[in-house]
Structure 1
Amino acid sequence: MVAHSSDGLSATAPVTGGDVLVDARVSIEEKPPRSLDSTQQATEEERVQLPTVDAFRRAIPPHCFERDLTRSLRYLVQDFAALAFLYFALPVFEYFGLFGYLAWNVLMGVFGFALFVVGHDCLHGSFSDNQVLNDIIGHIAFSPLFSPYFPWQKSHKLHHAFTNHIDKDHGHVWIQDKDWEKMPTWKKLFNPMPFSGWLKWFPVYTLFGFCDGSHFWPYSSLFVRDSERVQCVISGVCCVACAYVALAIAGSYSNWFWYYWVPLSFFGCMLVIVTYLQHADEVAEVYEADEWSFVRGQTQTIDRFYGFGLDETMHHITDGHVAHHFFNKIPHYHLIEATEGVKKVLEPLFETQYGYKYQVNYDFFVRFLWFNIKLDYLVHKTKGILQFRTTLEEKAKAK
């Protein structure tokens, strides 16, 4: 059974159990709001009992947790072959001028992101049973995309461990009202600018380190041990080496920029769009430490169906992301089947905030641009629970 919110988000209730053990059962009692309108008192919501991680694990067929090295390698080869074909077909695209070049870059971004998803399996250990092999393949997939593998491995695992935790989920920049008031105007205007999506992956996130810490500088805040700093250097050198090889093949800095770096920026934009829409929406909640739990945080993850063959091409990380967040060691080729198990567990919660969230978004690019304008900052819905300002204001007007 599926209930739909006013914006089309379904609210059935799956949440998948991750590779982190969580308390057997989590009781959640929401309290009166303390902001937006300090005189407004919301009625106390009914106590909600969230399923355990083990309940999700039992609902997912055991074979979904099995890694098939041959199958994983097939997807790696498939994505490299697609990118190679696009380079081979470049003259055909350029025959149609600027429009053809733009279409080529869009496809390069999509298939570049597909390759990233294969490397993403490696960093989670879902590519094969051998983590050394995972790390080698991960570098093979990530380095041509100018994405340092080991630093990504650390920052991304922190995001999974503390999803939608206001202080510890650094993979997404949760801006509160108190932060918004202090921000300079140029920062407030950056997100709404359409081109910002091409800059957030590089240099804003991976190079400048906003807000996990630089993925290229070994002494950034992301790394606390010497071994991590060594890994950062190794991964960074691999990225630079791939960029140098691309320059040697291109034959000039101009060709390198237009046929290596520009398509890379489109990959980065697709990465930013997908990751943003997986966790940002009008209905999503963010939690302070006293209200956060692993299961509760994962229920705010959103599966989105992009259509146009994109979900299959990008290995279902878009419409199978909830299951991935609960069990990140499930290979991408089992995510859709695992999602069905998650839905069954969460079905009793379909009318609550913690139901399975799914949306069909053929307009994903426009939605990304619009959300970057509308969802500006978080305010408290109740003590310890935050939602976007515009969401709560619209709810207040509707009463």
Structure 2
Amino acid sequence: MSRQYLEDDLPEFTPMSWRLQEIREAIPSRLFVRDTRRGLAWLALDLLMAAVCWKLAVHIDPTFRSRAAAQLLTPAGAIVVRWSCWIVYWWFQGLIFTGIWVIGHECGHGAFSANRYVCDLIGFIVHTALWTPYFSWKISHHRHHCNHASMERDEVYVPKTRSDLGIPEESNDGKIDYDEYFGDTPVYTLYMLVRQQLLAFPAYLLTNVSGQKNYPRWTNHFDPNSILFTKEQRHAVIISNLGILGMIALVRLACIAWGAASVMKFYGIPWLCVTHWFIMITYLHHTDPELPHYRQPEWNFQRGAAATVDRDFLGWMGRFFLHDVAHYHVVHHFFPKMPFYHGEEATQYLRSFIGEHYHRSDKPVFKALWDNYNDCQFVEDTGDVLFYRNKKGQAVLRPAATHGKVKAETGSDL
């Protein structure tokens, strides 16, 4: 017999009370130093790997469509091997492209170099090449870091509330039939999850999906007059848009020269892999039943930064190709200007200092994606410290009845 769920039996959570400066002082200052040449070396390696993969892929179709391959492998066998080679190419080129995108992400935070112009030049080029409006996304992503886990001000992955989903409040009069609201079949859930993985990032850029619900309709990253931007940032948004228009022209010319099918195989599908990996990484960074969200006055910068989780993402491939973006994300939220290559060592100091407030998960990431998509449905309409509830309305933690409150900080290292 399953144990009855009782809210009072849940473990209690008390938000951290340290100031940001105390946490920073626990990490050696040398780990905050940005080395432009080291960053350029990583970018050069990424570009070299992408070029090698591209060059090898050029030979896939001619090799396995040849008469010799059909005779050696049989016609059906040659087809199977040919498409298997394409799948291998898409896997690794998608990871390499994602690593290049991560370099652009480093540039957006100023972590690539102490020189802002170097960061913006490289970031604009690599993000534009991967269909990300660099300055526009940089602006909203900066605000996400400044306000992470704030129900009122965070820019992305803002949880839906009970009232958003039309679910009535719990009462002693009778139980809520949660199946009426979440009674989806596994097949439908899988469909929604695949849709999220492939379309969520373009949808966020175009329509503010998962962003603040109080923004005007059609809020997006391409409108210079959007609520996302100030008047002073309009020109940067326009530059980002011009970059995307340039990419449209380049891809059109490539389709004319080599054919749309070739462009899709060599570039389009690896780019789709980038959107998949990027959404999966960020979703799992910020979505977990054990991560708190805050309303005022309980939110402050360091509490929001701690409301993220490090994950063992694809093992050595995630570390090498993705530049530790998933393995050491918590320290990145505390100190976004810290270079990724210092993340592992800095995390050791951070974890030692904040203790139980540091979150790490070794759960296989595809299982975590499925579990969290099902277990993180909504938060309550009331309360200042909130935890996700699952499809049965159950949480895994509850805020302590009383806990200390500290003055909110904006953080100085953004």
TM-score by length of 1: 0.79
Structure 1 position 154, deviation (Å) = 0.7
Query: Match for residue 105 of structure 1?
Result: 90
Distance 1:359 1:308 in 2: 16
Structure 1 position 327, deviation (Å) = 0.7
Distance 2:33 2:273 in 1: 33
Aligned 8 A contact 1:192 1:373 in 2: no
| Counterpart residue identity of residue 143, structure 1 | T
Query: Match for residue 344 of structure 1?
Result: 352
Alignment length (residue pairs): 346
Q: Structure 1 residue 87 and structure 2 residue 94: aligned?
A: no
| Counterpart residue identity of residue 361, structure 2 | Q
Q: Structure 1 residue 215 and structure 2 residue 216: aligned?
A: no
1:111-122 matches, cutoff 5 A: 111-122=96-107
- Aligned CA RMSD, in angstroms, stands at 2.8
Q: Structure 1 residue 274 and structure 2 residue 292: aligned?
A: no
Structure 1 position 61, deviation (Å) = 1.5
Structure 1 position 175, deviation (Å) = 1.0
| Counterpart residue identity of residue 334, structure 1 | H
1:18-33 matches, cutoff 5 A: none
Query: Match for residue 309 of structure 1?
Result: 317
Aligned 8 A contact 1:301 1:321 in 2: yes
1:145-224 matches, cutoff 5 A: 145-181=130-166, 192-202=192-202, 204-210=203-209, 211=211, 213-224=219-230
Q: Deviations over 1:292-326 (max 9, x none)?
A: 11111122110111214212221111111111110
Distance 2:114 2:342 in 1: 16
| Counterpart residue identity of residue 95, structure 2 | V
Distance 1:334 1:302 in 2: 17
Q: SS where residue 230 of structure 2 aligns?
A: coil
Q: Deviations over 1:198-232 (max 9, x none)?
A: 11112x1112332364222323331231x322211
Q: Deviations over 1:302-357 (max 9, x none)?
A: 0111214212221111111111110111011111111111012113xx2xxxx211
Structure 1 position 193, deviation (Å) = 3.4
Structure 1 position 259, deviation (Å) = 3.0
| Counterpart residue identity of residue 159, structure 1 | H
Distance 1:219 1:99 in 2: 47
Query: Match for residue 176 of structure 2?
Result: none
Q: SS where residue 378 of structure 1 aligns?
A: coil
| Counterpart residue identity of residue 379, structure 1 | E
| Counterpart residue identity of residue 373, structure 2 | N
Residues 144 and 132 (structure 1), Cα distance of their counterparts in 2 relative to 1, 3 Å cut = same
Query: Match for residue 68 of structure 1?
Result: 35
Query: Match for residue 127 of structure 1?
Result: 112
Residues 101 and 57 (structure 1), Cα distance of their counterparts in 2 relative to 1, 3 Å cut = same
Aligned 8 A contact 1:79 1:114 in 2: yes
Percent sequence identity over aligned pairs: 25
Aligned 8 A contact 1:165 1:287 in 2: yes
Aligned 8 A contact 1:56 1:341 in 2: no
Aligned 8 A contact 1:216 1:236 in 2: yes
Q: Structure 1 residue 51 and structure 2 residue 53: aligned?
A: no
Aligned 8 A contact 1:192 1:369 in 2: no
Aligned 8 A contact 1:152 1:215 in 2: yes
Q: SS where residue 171 of structure 1 aligns?
A: coil
| Counterpart residue identity of residue 161, structure 2 | Q
Which sections of structure 2, spanning at least 5 residues, go unmatched? 65-80, 168-180, 213-218, 398-414
Q: Larger relative contact order (C-alpha < 8 A, sep ≥ 6)?
A: 1
Aligned 8 A contact 1:164 1:285 in 2: yes
Query: Match for residue 376 of structure 2?
Result: 375
Distance 2:145 2:235 in 1: 23
Q: Deviations over 1:254-279 (max 9, x none)?
A: 33334333221110111000001111
Aligned 8 A contact 1:93 1:103 in 2: no
Structure 1 position 171, deviation (Å) = 1.9
Structure 1 position 393, deviation (Å) = 1.7
Residues 91 and 323 (structure 1), Cα distance of their counterparts in 2 relative to 1, 3 Å cut = same
Structure 1 position 72, deviation (Å) = 0.8
Query: Match for residue 303 of structure 2?
Result: 296
Higher Rg: 2
Aligned 8 A contact 2:289 2:389 in 1: no
Q: Deviations over 1:2-38 (max 9, x none)?
A: xxxxxxxxxxxxxxxxxxxxxxxxxxxxxxxxxx98x
Give the alignment partner of residue 318 of structure 1, picking from 308, 312, 326: 326
Aligned 8 A contact 2:285 2:308 in 1: yes
Aligned 8 A contact 2:144 2:154 in 1: yes
Distance 1:272 1:155 in 2: 16
Query: Match for residue 286 of structure 1?
Result: 293
Residues 43 and 378 (structure 1), Cα distance of their counterparts in 2 relative to 1, 3 Å cut = closer
Structure 1 position 139, deviation (Å) = 0.7
TM-score by length of 2: 0.76
Aligned 8 A contact 2:290 2:396 in 1: no
Structure 1 position 57, deviation (Å) = 1.5
Query: Match for residue 357 of structure 1?
Result: 359
Aligned 8 A contact 1:273 1:368 in 2: yes
Q: Deviations over 1:121-167 (max 9, x none)?
A: 11111111111221111112211101011011111111111111112
| Counterpart residue identity of residue 358, structure 1 | R
Structure 1 position 42, deviation (Å) = 7.3
Q: Deviations over 1:345-389 (max 9, x none)?
A: 113xx2xxxx2111124x313421332233222236x72122111
